[in-house]
Amino acid sequence: MAKKGMLLVGHGSKLPYNKDLVETTAKLIAEKTDEYIVRTGFMSLNTPTVQEQLEAFRKEKIEMLVVVPLFLARGVHIEKDIPAILGLPEGARAGTFHMNGKDVPLVYASPIGSDPLLAELMLKNAAEAIDELER
């Protein structure tokens, strides 16, 4: 049975932390559900690139491709660069992913943005910092 593909897109960095975060998040998603084949791609400085992973997905048996940017806020990569790589017009959230011999729906998700879960994470991080100071 065909699954959905999820391409988790990270910015990339000279330091290892961004790549580690994106790859760990992809593993956590894959462990949470078997609905997706999860891959990671980076905009710059790290590999594999977004383009390389799009090519890899062309060989998978997927019924849909969801591209999820692991970015906090909208910026040039979210609004212009990633849509251009995906072949989407600026502002479009959906299109078609051309695979070997067939087309499947392509969906472009929003960045994390302002979400109550993000506020919870910040409160958790603040509590951990205070706990470390008090030890």
Tens digit of pLDDT for each residue in 35-88? 999 999 999 999 999 999 999 999 999 999 999 999 999 999 999 999 999 999
Classify the phi-psi angles of 24: left when phi > 0, otherwise alpha if psi is within -120 to 50, otherwise beta. alpha
- Is the per-residue pLDDT at 90 higher than 90? no
CA–CA separation, 47 vs 23, rounded Å? 11
Residue 18 belongs to domain with CATH number: 3.40.50.1400
State the chain's maximal CA–CA distance in angstroms: 61
Cβ neighbour number for residue 35 with a 10 Å cutoff: 11
Residue 106 near residue 95 (C-beta atoms within 8 A): yes
Tens digit of pLDDT for each residue in 108-117? 999 999 999 9
Q: Quick one: pLDDT at residue 116? A: 95
Mean pLDDT of 2-30: 97
Does this model's pTM top 0.85? My answer is yes
CA–CA separation, 62 vs 70, rounded Å? 21
pLDDT tier at 100 (50, 70, 90 boundaries)? Answer: confident
Q: Quick one: pLDDT at residue 2? A: 78
Which positions are catalytic?
11
CA–CA separation, 76 vs 115, rounded Å? 21
Domain boundaries, position 22: 3-134
- Is the per-residue pLDDT at 31 higher than 90? yes
Percentage of the chain beyond pLDDT 90 is 96
Q: Quick one: pLDDT at residue 76? A: 96
Q: Quick one: pLDDT at residue 8? A: 98
- Is the per-residue pLDDT at 1 higher than 80? no
How many domains are there within the chain?
Answer: 1
Residue 22 near residue 82 (C-beta atoms within 8 A): no
Please give the full DSSP string across 18-62, using - where no structure is assigned. Answer: HHHHHHHHHHHHHHH-SSEEEEEEESSSSSSBHHHHHHHHTTS-E
